Amino acid sequence: MTRVLVIDDDPGVRLVLQKNLEHAGFEVLIAEDGPRGLGAARLGAPDIIVLDLMMPHVDGFEVLRDLRLHATTSTLPVIVLTALTDPVVKERCRHAGADLVMTKPFEPGALASEITRILDLQPRVVPLG
């Protein structure tokens, strides 16, 4: 089962994402801030991350930079979910390594479809032997 890590400080958004993604057939891991999200990314073995940008203490840009710097998380696909609509923000996210930037409010079905699309583009590693 595909494991999706959701990193978002808003409990309402986390709940909506969790319910909708579970309904779409994903296993969902939850982190309520950047530091917990980074820990979950390293220990929880997610297949993909859905990341909020505007969080206290450690924002989504910092989380994304940290993910890209560590070997265990450097290739994890990341979808940024943000209420910011400025094209400069979207470009900054892409430059930092986001695979996709989606604007809140979002259609939960569209998010599930994008997760599937992105994961289908990832190279498959087949064990030898």
pLDDT in tens, 60-91: 999 999 999 999 999 999 999 999 989 999 99
Query: Alpha carbon 52 to chain centroid distance?
Result: 8
Does a structural domain hold residue 99?
yes
Tell me the three state secondary structure of residue 80. strand
- Tell me how many domains the chain contains: 1
Does a structural domain hold residue 20?
yes
- What is the distance between the alpha carbons of residues 12 and 30, in angstroms, rounded to a whole number? 12
Average pLDDT value for the chain: 91
Residues 100 and 114 sit within 8 Å (Cβ to Cβ): yes
Does a structural domain hold residue 16?
yes
Does a structural domain hold residue 70?
yes
pLDDT in tens, 105-121: 888 789 999 999 999 88
Does a structural domain hold residue 127?
no
Residue numbers of the domain that contains 50: 6-54+66-78+87-116
Does a structural domain hold residue 60?
no
DSSP 46: -
What residues are paired with 103 via a beta bridge? 82
Give the domain CATH number at 70.
3.40.50.2300
Query: Alpha carbon 42 to chain centroid distance?
Result: 13
- What is the distance between the alpha carbons of residues 18 and 27, in angstroms, rounded to a whole number? 9
Does a structural domain hold residue 122?
no
Does a structural domain hold residue 37?
yes
